[in-house]
């Protein structure tokens, strides 16, 4: 039976993180051809080798998403090797926990550069190749903290709120140009980025305590949302927010 992404080429940023790896593995199983990227060259090459061992057609590329030059190189690599791009998954992100007064200017700039500017640069650089596909999908990763306030993580919340509205305006701009643009909003997910916090606080972690399902999600529970938005099954879905949060934003 053909895979749900057969014939599609997908580029994933932050591919060696928890959600990134789960998404890359699921896309490979569904027969997408892949460009997996991350800022650490050796780690992303290890991921690509692992996927290739399982039969995937995959390239690895080092990509600092805040760098226009890196983006140009990654998209040119994709064009030369595959000749097309059908799916862009903007997953790379970093977190900084302090609130308004305690956030350092340098930390603010770095979070905005990666989470917000990196998402815009990805769309900007990839869009000509995506438009040429005629049936492309962009999936931007926001967060439940791009929807509601937490009283902390000022830079992270600002960046993820920006990704939400950047996604919507891009969806309107490209709605008749062959590119759908949507955002995914994970809740508390047990990824390496927050694992220390989960290990320290467990079920008493405030956001887990506020989650009706009373647990953290797993990266494997986010990857199917990415797959749906990447596939033709979501052909009439653009500009929307797909929230996967165990009910955290339901109240």
Return the active site residues. Answer: 156
- Per DSSP, the residues of 220-232 read GGTHHHHHHHHSG
Beta strands in the chain (DSSP E): 9-12, 33-38, 58-62, 87-90, 136-141, 179-186, 241-244
CB atoms within 10 A of CB 159: 28
d(C-alpha 48, C-alpha 50), whole Å: 5
**Which H, E and C letters describe 6-57, residue by residue?**
CCCEEEECCCCCHHHHHHHHHHHHCCCEEEEEECCHHHHHHHHHHHHHCCCC
Q: Exposure pattern of 45-56 as b/e (b: 16+ CB <10 Å)?
A: bebbebbeeeeb
- Report helix, strand or coil for 249: helix
Please say whether the beta carbons of 24 and 17 come within 8 A.
Answer: no
User: Residue 86 belongs to what H/E stretch?
Assistant: none
């Amino acid at each position: 039976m053909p895979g749900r992404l057969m014939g599609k080429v997908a580029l994933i940023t932050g591919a060696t993180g928890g959600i990134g790896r789960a998404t890359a593995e699921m896309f490979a199983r569904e027969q997408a051809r892949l460009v997996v990227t991350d800022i650490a060259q050796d780690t992303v090459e290890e991921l690509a080798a692992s996927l290739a061992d399982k039969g995937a057609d995959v390239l690895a590329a080092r990509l600092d998403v805040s760098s226009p030059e890196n983006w140009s190189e990654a998209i040119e690599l994709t064009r030369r090797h595959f000749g097309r791009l059908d799916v862009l998954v903007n997953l790379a992100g970093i977190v900084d926990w302090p609130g308004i007064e305690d956030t350092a200017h340098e930390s603010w700039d770095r979070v905005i550069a990666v989470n917000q500017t990196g998402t815009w640069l990805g769309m900007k650089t990839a869009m000509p190749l995506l438009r040429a596909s005629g049936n492309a999908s962009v999936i931007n990763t926001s967060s439940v903290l791009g929807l509601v306030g937490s009283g902390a993580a000022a830079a992270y919340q600002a960046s993820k709120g920006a990704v939400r509205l950047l996604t919507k305006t891009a969806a309107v701009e490209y709605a008749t140009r062959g590119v759908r643009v949507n955002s995914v909003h994970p809740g508390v997910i047990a990824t390496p980025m927050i694992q220390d916090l989960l290990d320290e606080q467990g079920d008493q972690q405030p956001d887990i305590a506020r989650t009706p399902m009373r647990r953290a999600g797993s990266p494997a529970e986010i990857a199917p949302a990415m797959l749906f938005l990447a596939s033709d099954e979501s052909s009439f879905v653009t500009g929307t927010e797909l929230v996967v949060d165990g009910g955290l934003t339901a109240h």
